[in-house]
Amino acid sequence: MSNIQLKISNPQHIKEPKPIDHRFSTAHKAKLAKASKDFESMLTSMMLKSMTKSTNGLFGDSNFGGNVLDTFFEQELSNHITGSQGFGIAEQIYKRITGEELNLEEFIKFKNSKPNELKIKNIDKGNGAVTPSNSASTRLKKYEPIIKEASAKFGVPQNLIKSVILTESAAKENAVSSAKAKGLMQLMDGTAKDMGVKNVWNPKENIFGGSKYLSQMLKKYDGDLSKSLAAYNAGPGNVDKYEGIPPFTETQNYVKRVMGYLNYLES
C-alpha cells in the first residue's frame, strides 16, 4: 500500500482562529457542524478509496458484488470515523468559521433530531393557564388536521399554533382586525404575500402562512418564545429595537395570553 502525501500549498490558510462570531444562531451553528462533518466524511471516504486502490477495494476483485460492497462499506466506515473522533478536519473548519470549538455531543443531537424540529425555550409557566371558550375550542377542533400538517412542515409545535390562533382570532376564519389583519392567524397583506399566501381566507393557506412566519421568528430568535411571539405581534424591528418584548401594552398582553393558552393546552 502506497503512502499518502499531504502537501500544504498555501501556508496562509493556517492562521489564528477568528474570534467568536455571534451572528450564528444555535440552529445555524448545528448546520455548520453537520456540513463540516459531512465534508470530513467525504474526504475520509476518498482517502479510504485511495488506500485500498492497490488491493482492488476493501474486498478485492474476486468477490461477488465487490464494487457495490466497497462503496457501501467505505461510506459507512468514513461516517463512523467522522462521527466519533475523526481526524479533526471538521473541527478546524467549524472553528475557522465560528471561532468556537465544535461540540460533538451537540452535533450528534442535531444529527439525530427531526429535520424540522424547532427547540422552544423561555416558556413562561408563571402566568398560569388561560381557558378558551367552548365555542372557540369547538371551532378550533375542525382545523386540527391542518394544524398537524403545518406543524410537521414548519417545525412549530401544534399547541403553539393553536394558542396563537386562539389569541389572534378565537379560531374565527373570517376575523378582521382594526389594522386589517385577516383570518385565523391574523395575517397582514404584506406578511401573507411574503409567506406565499394567495387566498388569506382559505384556512389552510392562512394557517400555513402564519405557521411559516412564526417558524421564521423562532429561528431568528434562537427558539426564544417570548421574543418570537412579540415579533409576531409587533414586528421583529421593535423586538430588535428594545432587545426583547417591546413596552407596548398590547404586545405584552398578547405574549401573556398566548403563553396562557399554551399552558392550558399542555396541562
Using CA of residue 8, residue 11, residue 13, residue 15, what is the dihedral sign? positive
Task: Report pLDDT digits (tens) over 40-98.
Answer: 777 776 776 676 666 555 555 555 545 544 554 555 555 555 555 556 777 788 788 88
Measured CA to CA, the distance from residue 267 to residue 258 in angstroms comes to 14
Q: How far is CA 196 from CA 156, 191, 207, in A?
A: 18, 9, 12
Task: Report pLDDT digits (tens) over 134-175.
Answer: 999 999 999 999 999 999 999 999 999 999 999 999 999 999
pTM > 0.85: no
Domain coordinates in residue numbering, the chain: 16-112, 134-265
134-265 topology per CATH? Lysozyme (1.10.530)
Measured CA to CA, the distance from residue 42 to residue 37 in angstroms comes to 9
Question: Is 168 a known active-site residue?
Answer: yes
Task: Report pLDDT digits (tens) over 167-177.
Answer: 999 999 999 99
Of 241, 232, 218, the C-alpha closest to 28 is 218
* All three cell numbers of 41: 466524511
Who contacts 64 (Cβ-Cβ below 8 Å, separation ≥6)?
A: none
- Residue written as grid cell 417545525: 155
Give the pLDDT confidence score for residue 177 in this predicted structure.
93
Angle between helices 104-112 and 26-51 (to 10 degrees): 90
* All three cell numbers of 137: 375550542
Using CA of residue 209, residue 160, residue 259, residue 120, what is the dihedral sign? negative
- Give me the catalytic one of 40, 74, 168, 173: 168
Measured CA to CA, the distance from residue 113 to residue 200 in angstroms comes to 32
